[in-house]
Amino acid sequence: MSNDVKKPEPIILHIPAFDVFDEEKVLSPNNRDTYNHPTAVRVNRGGEITEVTAAGTKVSGGEKPKEYRGVCIEIDFSDEHGLDWTLQFGFHKGNTLVGVLKRQQRLDGGYSDVPEIWRG
């Protein structure tokens, strides 16, 4: 038996109107830059929302996702050119839907004070 373990091929998802994946990197919908910083993850399960940020994890009540049945997962990113955006996974009748939501330019245009969740 060989010790060589073959690494699985990465799964590449394509989003209508935006291609925010390039092999193993996430691309900004602003300029296809690979320098994106995760700032929050939210899971909305029927109105119960779990959110992970640099400040910690909290669970709160909210509205059920209007456009999906079941769970909606959102990952917030900030790119290094001042764009905040959200990658959303929604589920409806056996389909997994992927989309880019919020596209907002930060006034400072930078990222030095972005509260990244991966530096915790």
Q: Report pLDDT for 22.
A: 60
**Total domains present in the chain:** 1
Residue 85 lies in a domain: yes
pLDDT tens digits along 90-112: 888 888 888 887 667 776 656 66
Task: Give, in order, the Cα–Cα distances in Å from 119 to each of 12, 23, 37, 54, 56.
Answer: 26, 24, 10, 8, 12
Question: In the chain, what percentage of residues exceed pLDDT 90?
Answer: 22
Residue 76's domain comprises 31-119
32: phi then psi, degrees, rounded to nearest 5: 65, 25
Residue 92 lies in a domain: yes
Residue 21 lies in a domain: no
